Amino acid sequence: MHRWSKLFIPTLREAPADAVVASHQILLRAGYVRQLGAGLYSYLFLATRSINKIVAIVREEMDRIGQEMYLPALNPAEVWQESGRWTGMGDNMFRLKDRKGADLCLGMTHEEVMTSIARSEIRSYKQLPQIWYQIQTKFRDEPRPKSGLLRVRQFTMKDSYSFDLNEEGLDVSYKLHDEAYRCIFTRCGLSFVAVEADSGAMGGSQSQEFMVYTEAGEDLIASSPDGQYAANIEKATSTLVTVEDLPGEAAPELVHTPGQKTIDDVSAFLNVAQHHQMKTMALIATWPADAKGVVKTKAVVAFLRGDHQLNEAKLGSLVAGAELRPMVAEEIFATFNAPAGYLGPIGLDSEKTLVVLDKALEGRANLIAGANKEEHHLRNVTPGRDFKPTVIADIRNINEGEPDPITGQPLRLGKAVEIGHIFKLGYKYTESMGARVLDQNGKETMPIMGCYGIGIERILTAAMERSAASMGLSDRGDIRYALPASIAPFQVIVTVTKQSDATLAEAGETIAKALDSAGFDVLLDDRDQSAGVKFKDADLIGVPYRVNVGKKLVDGLVELVDRLTGNTIECAVNEVVPQLQAAIKQ
């Protein structure tokens, strides 16, 4: 049992002006955290209690499928150079030198370190499968740390890694993590959705994110109403409704379009719909320097329907490992021999340029496209006949309301925050770092890997965001929320409305001790403050259940407030424990 009068809980009347999202305001006002620098936070007493509870749930579920380790946060450059990610991680990685001038980094993730252990210690298929995990501090030099604990430079992650002999084994390890993650997030009281996702810098063939819908999220999720389909916008697909092409079979025809540079301009000028046009996106792909320091670049030109938007993550998967950026004027002229605003597909050098056609344009005819000539466009451009793309692929963002690819239901777009991510890495690290085992036939083979992460602090912030969104503001304009009992710093707070009243104080003490003996995580508010201040503070720190010990004690009654449901009941003092046990069980 803890007594509020003895604790350090520095609550604030108002949140700082730069705290915009709900969880950031709550964390600061309730005294969970204090900011040390950009993206750097000190976790005070309440935050530490909640995070420890989350870690305990994660550890319990992960211990069912894997073995816990603890790896160095400070890594030598060599292992990252072996995998090729020393340069690939770019400015997101914190780098430093030791006193001898050797390069080191602060670990963002630990694929390389785990693989170095596996290649040194695992020799035979008989030692597989292996699932190793750790709960450890990670570092990422975020360019724009913001939103409290949602985007930081130092954070806690549960990261695990699987090593299997073949793809069938990886499927099992992946499924074990999927099941464990669902248990973890459910036990933490979160409503979540599992979505198809892009593997990004991690690499691999398949990945799935676990997301919580919230307006504070920076990811965009597409999902069907029944939940059968869900995907990150970087991966989402839809079934397009067929559109009619312009009539005719003529060859491309040059049209004078003075000053008409945008899709909207050309639509109005030529009296055609946006979907009758081709949008040209001109980019440069740059790969990290190779072992000799050579940096490779290539022009990438993508063509989309005029009313569609480019999805850079989808396009990026076609130039794996490269960074994409828009062409500058000189690069545009070198590629198209024309200025921006009139760019098109005919006449591009296919040896020097990767020409990508979005699948929505496959089979289309008589499109309007730039003529690669100032103040001119072309009519009647037909892909395949008039130009040959290097590759045809889905590179567009889906639009809200388009039919999902499974049942054809209209897709909903919503913001969400990622709380977990699982990847099938494949052979990316075991191949580059030389990890080998002997199979059943004595033949040397590469183990296959998976990688699985959970953001510990994000579970806490996602719970705060979801609760605040559902409960709304108080009459005073304060954010209302309550944390799930499993991760709240305390499950129940006993509030003595008038501490100077010896009878009330004694009853509060008795009830708190009874709850403590019954196994509850209980906080006794024994401060000499007004009832209003105590109620407000209890709500502010997010404790889900409150027992009010006040004037009705003369009748043997206290108030039991369930902040998760909004219900308040009166009950006898000796009924507090069973009532709360029933509430938490439910």
CA nearest neighbour of 502 among 549, 543, 444: 549
3-state SS class at 281: strand
CB atoms within 10 A of CB 78: 13
Q: Who's near 232: CB < 8 A, 6+ residues apart? A: 195, 196, 197, 198, 209, 211, 219, 220, 221, 222
pLDDT of residue 529: 95
C-alpha–C-alpha distance, residues 358 and 389, integer Å: 10
Residue with structure tokens 């503070």? 537
> Does the pLDDT value for residue 537 go beyond 70?
yes
Q: Are 195 and 217 in contact (CB under 8 A)?
A: no
Q: State which amino acid sits at residue 290.
A: D
pLDDT tens sequence across 335-365 = 999 999 999 999 998 889 999 999 999 999 9
Chain mean pLDDT for the chain: 93
Quote the tokens at residue 370: 């730039």
Quote the tokens at residue 261: 């540079």
> Does the pLDDT value for residue 202 go beyond 60?
no
Q: Would the CA dihedral through 388, 394, 397, 400 be positive or negative?
A: positive
C-alpha–C-alpha distance, residues 561 and 568, integer Å: 4
pLDDT of residue 262: 94
Residue with structure tokens 């296919």? 350
Mean pLDDT for 482-492 is 97
Residue with structure tokens 């929320």? 481
Which whole-number Å values give the CA distances from 3 to 51, 76, 494, in the listed order?
20, 46, 10
C-alpha–C-alpha distance, residues 74 and 139, integer Å: 10
Q: State which amino acid sits at residue 231.
A: A
Q: Are 196 and 162 in contact (CB under 8 A)?
A: no
CA nearest neighbour of 469 among 24, 27, 22, 47: 22
> Does the pLDDT value for residue 473 go beyond 90?
no
> Does the pLDDT value for residue 5 go beyond 70?
yes
Q: Who's near 101: CB < 8 A, 6+ residues apart? A: none
Q: Which one-letter DSSP state was computed for residue 324?
A: E
Q: Are 80 and 86 in contact (CB under 8 A)?
A: yes
In terms of Cβ atoms closer than 10 Å to its own Cβ (0-12, 13-18, 19+), residue 415 is middle
pLDDT of residue 290: 74
pLDDT of residue 197: 80
Query: Using 50, 70 and 90 to split pLDDT, how confident is the model at 541?
Result: very high
Q: Would the CA dihedral through 96, 98, 101, 104 be positive or negative?
A: negative
Give strand pairing partners of 381: 367
C-alpha–C-alpha distance, residues 246 and 482, integer Å: 58
Q: Are 302 and 393 in contact (CB under 8 A)?
A: no
> Does the pLDDT value for residue 199 go beyond 70?
no
C-alpha–C-alpha distance, residues 192 and 212, integer Å: 5
pLDDT of residue 420: 96
Query: Using 50, 70 and 90 to split pLDDT, how confident is the model at 205?
Result: low
Helices (H) and strands (E) in the chain, counts: 14, 30
Can you give the pTM of this predicted structure? Answer: 0.87
CA nearest neighbour of 379 among 546, 248, 262: 248
**What is the residue-wise DSSP string for 381-400?**
E-BTTTB--SEEE--B---T
3-state SS class at 512: helix
Mean pLDDT for 28-45 is 96
Query: Using 50, 70 and 90 to split pLDDT, how confident is the model at 378?
Result: very high
> Does the pLDDT value for residue 201 go beyond 60?
no
Mean pLDDT for 134-138 is 97
In terms of Cβ atoms closer than 10 Å to its own Cβ (0-12, 13-18, 19+), residue 545 is buried
Crossing angle, helix 456-471 and helix 22-29, to 10 degrees?
100
Q: Is 477 left (phi over 0), alpha (psi -120 to 50) or beta?
A: left
Q: How far is CA 203 from the centre of its chain?
A: 16
| β-strand pairing of 230-232 with 130-139 | unpaired
pLDDT of residue 18: 87
pLDDT tens sequence across 413-443 = 999 999 999 999 999 999 999 999 999 999 9
C-alpha–C-alpha distance, residues 373 and 26, integer Å: 57
> Does the pLDDT value for residue 386 go beyond 60?
yes
pLDDT of residue 206: 80
CA nearest neighbour of 458 among 418, 429, 485, 506: 418
What values do phi and psi take at 537, rounded to 5?
A: -65, -40
CB atoms within 10 A of CB 281: 20
pLDDT of residue 350: 83
Q: What percent of the chain stands above pLDDT 70? A: 98
pLDDT tens sequence across 294-312 = 889 999 999 999 999 999 9
CA nearest neighbour of 495 among 443, 554, 558, 432: 558
Mean pLDDT for 187-193 is 95
Give strand pairing partners of 377: 255, 370
Q: Who's near 250: CB < 8 A, 6+ residues apart? A: 366, 379, 380
| β-strand pairing of 367-373 with 376-381 | antiparallel
CA nearest neighbour of 460 among 178, 232, 12, 152: 152
3-state SS class at 38: coil
Q: Are 257 and 377 in contact (CB under 8 A)?
A: yes
Residue with structure tokens 């995998």? 83
